[in-house]
Amino acid sequence: MNKVKNFIMIILIIIFTIAVVPKEFQNDTFFTIAIGENILKNGIDNQEKLVWHDGLEFTNSRWIFDVLITLIYNIFDFLGIYIFVILMAIVQMLLYYFILNQITKNRILSFIATIITTYFISNEFAARAQIVSFIIFLLEFYCLEKLTQKNKPIYIVCLIIFPIILANIHSSVFPTYFAIYLPYIAEFVLSKFKLKSEENSKIIIDKRRVKSLLILFVLSIFLGFCTPATFAAYTDMFKAMNGISSDIIAELQPLNIFDSIYFTILVIITIAIIGFTKTKVKLTDCLYILGFGLMSLSTYRCIFFFYLISSICVFRIVNTFLECYEIKIHFNKYAKTILGIVIGLLIFIISLKNISLTLSSEYVNRTEYPVDISNYILENLNTEDMRIYNHFNCGSYLEFRGIKAFIDSRSGIFTPEFNEGCTVLEDWYAVENGQVNYKKIFEEYGITHVLVRKGSIIDNYIGYDNKWNVIYDIGTFMLYEKVN
């Protein structure tokens, strides 16, 4: 019966995960395909620029993922990418369930936690490199947890391979790989200072096997260079967080705890159990929650690391609390069966309903991306001589269609942190918000065409400028052409 129950839970997790994976693609997917096509055509060291600016350098930090997505697209079109994202999301959440179940030995708690976490992390399910890198982080966490208990070769081999894969699939998050090591290293350092847990202490400092762990940590620093991106794996994350991108891009800005209910609840649960009960908690769990919690507060992008890694630690603390106080919900056999069936059916019905709504949507939202205008440009205009001005979110789609853009969602390359003297992102933001005279910026860049969303600030300005003619006005977007 236990195997049957476990099988049913796994099936429900799979169905629920499929239900929350969005069918509509994000803008990063489009430039991913464009870059991958570029690599397949010209090689990784001889890529053509996707934007029309001269002199901008771009270090490809995820070339394997870009090529993989492009190959899937070339063979199976958008449907193939959608299925790939679903498969990766399922692997991710089943791995989360497996790790949590291994750590807590509480199948019911692990199932409930996985369903809740799947719902709140669903925005991360997209054809972006993190769909793979997050799986690597989960596997790393599990291998580290096991390695400090049993020094098996399989864990050592995995921890040697992971940084190499990560550096070539998603090197911009490479520093996070080392952050996952830090709680165990900190615990080891504290134990060397003879800071041991007293019998009545709430914080447990475990005696762990850390010799192999320390060697692997040092080795991983050098393994990160096994990529064409070289130093970019160690610097890109900090450049993006410290530059102007953090003032403009929402996911690089500080977390608003009032808009992040799950994060707030997990933190409150942790504080309540540690502060007001006699539950003993592991030092590493506290450090994971504190570390990724602070990272999330400083940058919203890091909240997904908190959901994936720190939440496991929170639920381990919850499980310890339940065991400490011997809290069990007692139902008779029939009531327990009926309750399980009701919850299972509820998840199943909600999932099927959401899947039917998702399947009715399109891969490319025509109100968000300039699909029709791109068709018009390719059929009627000379793209070689065009210098188009476009919105940040539209650039990736233009590049996907083979039209060189003014800016795209790779925000970093348009800042002086990545390209010395480059102010493209800053200039775009100033124009979009009416902070500067658009005429001066357009003249400086030699803009020949302007693609804007109807009713935007720049549309309201340029609409009364007789130096610009409307050449396309259907749907959400408008295309202007400069009068010769």
228-232 mean pLDDT? 75
pLDDT value at 204 more than 80 = yes
Same domain? For 384 and 358 the reply is no
User: Are the beta carbons of 364 and 23 closer than 8 angstroms?
Assistant: no
Same domain? For 381 and 343 the reply is no
pLDDT value at 106 more than 90 = yes
Confidence of residue 328 (pLDDT cuts 50, 70, 90): confident
Q: Provide the pLDDT for residue 194.
A: 59
pLDDT value at 444 more than 90 = yes
Tens of pLDDT, residue by residue over 382-392, are 999 899 999 98
Examine the fold and report which residue of 346, 363, 380 is the final residue of a domain before the chain moves on. 363
The b-or-e profile of 353-378 (16+ CB within 10 A means b, else e) is: ebbeebeeeeeeeeebbbbebbeebe
3-state secondary structure of 250: helix
Same domain? For 445 and 343 the reply is no
242-268 mean pLDDT? 83
Q: Provide the pLDDT for residue 201.
A: 76
Tell me, yes or no, whether 291 lies in a domain: no
Tell me, yes or no, whether 184 lies in a domain: no
User: Are the beta carbons of 403 and 378 closer than 8 angstroms?
Assistant: yes
Q: Domain containing 101: what range?
A: 1-128+329-363
Q: Provide the pLDDT for residue 57.
A: 81
Same domain? For 394 and 469 the reply is yes
Same domain? For 2 and 120 the reply is yes
Confidence of residue 409 (pLDDT cuts 50, 70, 90): confident
Which among 74, 103, 53, 83 has a CA at the least distance from the CA of 387?
A: 53
Alpha carbons 28 and 369: distance in angstroms, whole number: 12
Alpha carbons 479 and 483: distance in angstroms, whole number: 13
Confidence of residue 231 (pLDDT cuts 50, 70, 90): confident
Alpha carbons 198 and 295: distance in angstroms, whole number: 30
pLDDT value at 163 more than 70 = yes
Tens of pLDDT, residue by residue over 124-151, are 999 999 999 999 999 999 999 999 888 8
User: Are the beta carbons of 132 and 173 closer than 8 angstroms?
Assistant: no
Tens of pLDDT, residue by residue over 355-375, are 999 999 999 999 999 999 999
Alpha carbons 190 and 480: distance in angstroms, whole number: 64
Same domain? For 103 and 6 the reply is yes
Tens of pLDDT, residue by residue over 271-320, are 999 999 999 999 999 999 999 999 999 888 899 999 999 999 999 999 99
Same domain? For 347 and 396 the reply is no
